[in-house]
């Protein structure tokens, strides 16, 4: 009879005795018998005192913090010219595009002419009034039948007439100047300029030759020199400290690698957390929209009794490990766990330092 058969018989007899003598017990230890060949396939890991660390993984995205959304405030106008292309870098004040303004410019030129003419007329008015009054008194002096009272009446009439004329001219000037200001604002709004240095993104397709619509964003100017990593996982906010860098990894990008990022203006965090790149791969150029994963310490227990996480198994609400008896029999050992870290699990009871657990 081989060793395995003897062990099976002994274990079966022991199980029957336990069952008959301890029927009041709800839990019966489960014992699994393995052959010597099966035991070799497991690794024996010692129970040691070590640090147990739980790390949170936070997704983040590289985004711009300063941008200009470009849109017309007019509807139904023909987009005459687009001066920039997608991805092109522009300077503040660069003309980006404009609506057709030929008729508008003609109207502006006509208003400017009218205003200039009326300003000249207004300037001549006082001189012409003075000459008309002077002519009336000269006529009085050359006519003995003309009285001073009659001349005075005529002078007052001349003054009133010129006053009315100036009033009409001023009214015309006020109206034309208001119209000119309105037309110039319309002209200015038909020409869109960059309000900052940056790069053109999300340029609307087939923009040139299309019809404008009030409020519709046709492109975005982005200051790509000042981008940050952004995360909406604000519930992790209290895990970060101002001035303390944390690890971040980029996987799927030309800038893939391990980075250190620093919390950015934490006092302004409300629904979004921002991080600036503190250190990382040399000569890496991170593009907007690049995804990263920030690692932050959630909880840590130092120098506690622990085992590797992959040696701990779950059965309902209980945790257990496999140990090995002196007879090379694999058996279950129920344990009480504390902090479950990323790599190790804290053991509160059920194991002692130096004992060994099984790991495949």
Contact in structure between 288 and 87 (CB atoms under 8 Å): no
Give the tens place of pLDDT for each residue, 46-104. 999 999 999 999 999 998 888 889 999 889 989 999 999 998 999 999 999 999 988 88
Residues 44 and 111 in one domain: no
| pLDDT of 1 over the 80 cut | no
Say yes or no: 36 and 116 in one domain: no
Residues 108 and 172 in one domain: yes
Instruction: Using the 3D structure, point to which of 140, 162, 189 is the last residue of a domain.
Output: 189
Residue 78 lies in a domain: no
User: What phi, psi does 227 have (nearest 5°)?
Assistant: -105, 155
Residue 304 inside a domain? The answer is: yes
Q: Is 168 helix (H, G, I), strand (E, B) or coil?
A: helix
Give the percent of the chain with pLDDT over 70: 88
Q: What angle do CA 232, 234, 235 make, to 5 degrees?
A: 130
Structural domain tally of the chain?
Answer: 2
Beta-carbon contacts of residue 97 (< 8 Å; ≥ 6 apart): 79, 81, 82, 83, 84, 191, 192, 207, 208, 218
Q: Which pLDDT value is given to residue 345?
A: 96
Measured distance CA(122)–CA(134) in Å, rounded: 19
Domain termination residue (choose one: 159, 189, 219): 189
- Confidence category of residue 29, pLDDT binned at 50, 70, 90: very low
CA-nearest of 315, 320, 309 to 344 is 309
Query: 284-293: per-residue pLDDT in tens?
Result: 678 888 999 9
pLDDT grade for 251, boundaries at 50, 70 and 90? very high
CA distances in angstroms from 338 to 54, 114, 127, 295, 319, listed in the order given = 12, 88, 102, 22, 11
Please check whether residue 324 is in contact with residue 356, taking contact to mean a CB–CB distance below 8 angstroms: yes
Domain boundary at 146, 171, 189, which?
Answer: 189
Q: Report the CATH number at residue 37.
A: 2.40.420.20
Residue 200 pLDDT greater than 50, yes or no: yes
pLDDT tens column, 312-330: 999 999 999 999 888 888 9
Asked if residue 350 is part of any domain, the answer here is yes
- Averaged pLDDT score across all residues of the chain: 85
H or E, element range at 128: helix 102-141
Residue 246 has pLDDT above 70, yes or no: yes
The answer to pTM > 0.75 is no
What pLDDT is attached to residue 283?
A: 60
> Which residues pair with residue 197 across a beta bridge?
none
* Residue 130 included in any domain: yes
Nearby residues of 34 by Cβ (< 8 Å), 6 or more positions away:
328, 329, 330
**163 assigned to some structural domain:** yes
Residue with tokens 């990894």: 249
Of 21 and 153, which is predicted with more confidence? Answer: 153
Residue-number span of the structural domain to which 181 is assigned: 101-189
266 domain-assigned: no
Same domain for 115 and 171?
yes
Q: Is 313 helix (H, G, I), strand (E, B) or coil?
A: strand
How far is residue 98's CA from residue 95's CA, in Å, rounded to a whole number? 8
Per-residue model confidence as pLDDT tens digits over 33-58? 454 444 445 789 999 999 999 999 99
* Residue 86: strand, helix, or coil: coil
Cα-based angle 279, 284, 289 (whole degrees, multiple of 5): 95
Q: Which residue has the higher pLDDT, 343 or 34?
A: 343
Residue 28 and residue 107 share a domain: no
The H-or-E segment that residue 121 falls in is: helix 102-141
Q: What is the distance in angstroms between the CA of the first residue and the CA of the last residue of the chain? A: 29
Average pLDDT score over residue span 147-154:
85
């Amino acid at each position: 009879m081989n060793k395995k058969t003897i062990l099976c018989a002994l274990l079966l007899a022991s199980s029957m005795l336990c069952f008959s003598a301890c029927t009041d017990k709800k839990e019966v230890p489960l014992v699994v018998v393995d052959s010597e060949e099966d035991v070799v396939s497991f690794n024996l890991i010692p129970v040691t005192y070590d640090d147990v660390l739980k790390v949170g993984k936070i997704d983040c995205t590289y985004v711009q913090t300063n941008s200009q959304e470009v849109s017309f405030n007019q509807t139904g106008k023909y987009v005459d010219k687009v001066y920039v292309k997608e991805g092109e870098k522009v300077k503040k004040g660069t003309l980006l595009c404009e609506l057709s303004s030929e008729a508008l410019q003609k109207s502006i030129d006509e208003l400017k002419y009218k205003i200039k003419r009326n300003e000249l007329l207004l300037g001549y008015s006082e001189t012409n009034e003075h000459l008309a009054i002077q002519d009336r008194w000269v006529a009085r002096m050359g006519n003995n039948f003309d009285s001073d009272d009659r001349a005075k009446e005529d002078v007052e009439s001349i003054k009133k007439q010129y006053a009315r004329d100036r009033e009409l001219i001023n009214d015309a000037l006020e109206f034309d100047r208001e119209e000119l200001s309105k037309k110039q604002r319309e002209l200015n709004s038909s020409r869109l300029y960059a309000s900052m240095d940056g790069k053109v993104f999300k340029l609307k397709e087939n923009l040139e030759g299309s019809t404008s619509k009030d409020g519709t964003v046709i492109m975005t100017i982005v200051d790509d020199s000042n981008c940050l990593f952004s995360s909406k996982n604000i519930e992790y906010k209290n895990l970060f400290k101002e001035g303390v860098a944390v690890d971040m990894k980029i996987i799927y990008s030309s800038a893939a690698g391990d980075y250190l990022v620093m919390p950015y203006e934490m006092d302004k965090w409300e629904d979004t957390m921002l991080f600036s790149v503190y250190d990382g791969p040399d000569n890496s150029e991170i593009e907007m929209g690049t995804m990263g994963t920030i690692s932050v310490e959630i909880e840590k227990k130092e120098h506690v009794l622990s085992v590797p996480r992959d040696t701990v198994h779950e059965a309902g609400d209980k945790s257990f490990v496999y140990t090995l008896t002196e007879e090379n029999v694999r058996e279950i050992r129920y344990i009480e766990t504390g902090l479950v870290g990323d790599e190790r699990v804290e053991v509160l009871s059920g194991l002692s330092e130096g004992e060994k657990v099984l790991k495949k």
